[in-house]
Chain A
């Protein structure tokens, strides 16, 4: 209940600032451009595809790249949204409002997490609207679309959890944004290490890579290990955030 109160307030404040609107607009603009160029590409090769056996369908050619690109764009955007979650409140000394209210730290952190997730759901709906528009003139593999959406949702959840934790560490939003971006990018490219040689290290890094668990979902492969990976990632960083705020109360810094 209190979680929803905090989440609602976060969502409202987001829309009070121009930042949220600008981000929605810019992301939509870029993804729409990529989406349209992908359609263009599909129209060009359509005649050749007709001749192939087991030709890739419209979903493989348009939806998968769209969601792949969306992930990259959002990797850049989410740190800008998460940066102010806690650090801004710390800088403006408004944290004490929540600390003095009868609230648990868990409620504060989950409220902030869900508030931003609600905003990202709006973004997700806008992204999903683009491929869904193709239903007007063709058919889509809705299963693949659903698993892609799920993948992007989990990815965004992980981004948000990591960004939220980084935001609890500092009172400077910019530092939170840069460090979040650094961590996300590192997780993204982690599997590049030793990818040429194979071996033990590359398997571990590959397993930790955030991208490796996203790609199967874009192809419509639903592997519960991938889901669990994202859920664990979110849980870890949410727990770390709660611990961090608790430490602030205990240590006073």
Chain B
């Protein structure tokens, strides 16, 4: 057992009848990491998170939390888990204090530490002021905070948050992000979202799921490298023959956009920008534009999620 991996998911499958919602997903997560789960709606993000949190049994596969198999020893594994589902599981008729005290009891926090645990969770989630208010009367942003407080009350090693910022206003979203950022200092967090900038601001590592399959598992730095892309946009007053450009070292392909404008694709290692400038000066091509193309996360995401041809089963 590798000590550094806190969550280990091995060949996870989940079928709903004939529909395969999660198809052979495996990944590992280390201590202190913030893992972003990305994917279009209905890709299987929530299903995967439900399985990791022990709310749903996988059709096949293994999930180890802190080295404990959640299927064989659910109680031991769940001690290390805090889970906030898409819709926070709140009892609207209880006050924040009563609710959190109940959560503390459910998570078997000893009586002596219960009060401290509730206070700590409240202060971390900014709920100290609203402790005596009914949950049903709180705004959606505060309800979401109560949901997060519930997930961290037993100080679990892993926190699973399913779309924690959905339906909030921009200010609330920023507050929740700050909160998640603070939590990431002490906990490992798995976070699902379909808001892409969120991933860039919070996560260390990104997993993209599409149609139940894992299509990308990379660090944020790796993803950024992908975003840097591998093409140059160039424009000349006196354009050379396209074949000449294509024959230059490092150039893999070119695309003629309009008169004198080309998109030049190059390999990851070799950047032909300098060579093109030199040749242009030497041979008087009249280079007046040279832009490295940078992909947005959106484009990378769309590229990745649409790269696979849509299979027949997904048509339903």
Interface residues of A (CB under 8 A from B): 2, 5-6, 9, 12-13, 16-17, 92-104, 249-250, 252-253
Contacts and interface: CB of A to CB of B under 8 A. Distances in A.
B107 A93 contact: no
Given A104-B75, A249-B57, A250-B57, A96 B107 contact: no
Contacts of B102: 5, 9
Given A102-B78, A249-B54, A249-B57, 16 more contacts: A2-B106, A2-B108, A12-B98, A13-B94, A92-B91, A92-B92, A94-B90, A97-B103, A97-B150, A100-B53, A100-B54, A101-B78, A101-B103, A101-B106, A252-B14, A252-B50
A100 B103 CA distance: 11
Contact of B56 (A5, A12, A252): A252
A17 B93 CA distance: 8
Interface residues of B, number: 33
B167 interface: no
A114 to B, nearest CB: 15
B105 interface: yes
Contacts of A96: 50, 53, 55, 83, 85, 89
A17 B50 CA distance: 31
A5 B98 CA distance: 13
Nearest to B147: A97
B67 interface: no
Contacts of B54: 99-100, 249
Given A2-B106, A252-B56, A100 B81 contact: yes
A5 B81 contact: no
A92 B91 CA distance: 8
Interface in B85-140: 85, 87, 89-94, 98, 102-103, 105-108
A57 B253 CA distance: 106
A9 B103 CA distance: 11
A93 B93 contact: no
B112 to A, nearest CB: 15
A95 B89 contact: yes
Contact of A5 (B83, B85, B92, B105): B105
B93 A102 contact: no
A108 to B, nearest CB: 10
Nearest to B21: A252
B295 interface: no
Contacts of A2: 106, 108
B91 A102 contact: no
B79 interface: yes
B74 interface: yes
B55 A102 contact: no
Contacts of B72: none
A249 B57 CA distance: 6
Contact of A102 (B56, B76, B87, B90): B76
B88 to A, nearest CB: 8
Contact of A93 (B47, B89, B108): B89
A97 B106 contact: yes
Nearest to B83: A100
Interface in B57-89: 57, 74-76, 78-79, 81-83, 85, 87, 89
29 contacts: A5-B102, A5-B105, A5-B106, A13-B91, A16-B93, A16-B94, A17-B93, A92-B89, A92-B92, A94-B89, A96-B50, A96-B55, A96-B83, A97-B89, A97-B103, A98-B106, A99-B54, A99-B55, A100-B55, A100-B81, A101-B78, A101-B107, A102-B74, A102-B78, A104-B75, A249-B55, A252-B14, A252-B47, A252-B56
Nearest to B162: A96
A49 B112 CA distance: 64
Which 4 residue pairs across A and B have the least CB separation, nearest first?
Answer: A97-B89, A101-B106, A94-B89, A100-B83
Contacts of B16: 252-253
Contacts of B56: 249, 252
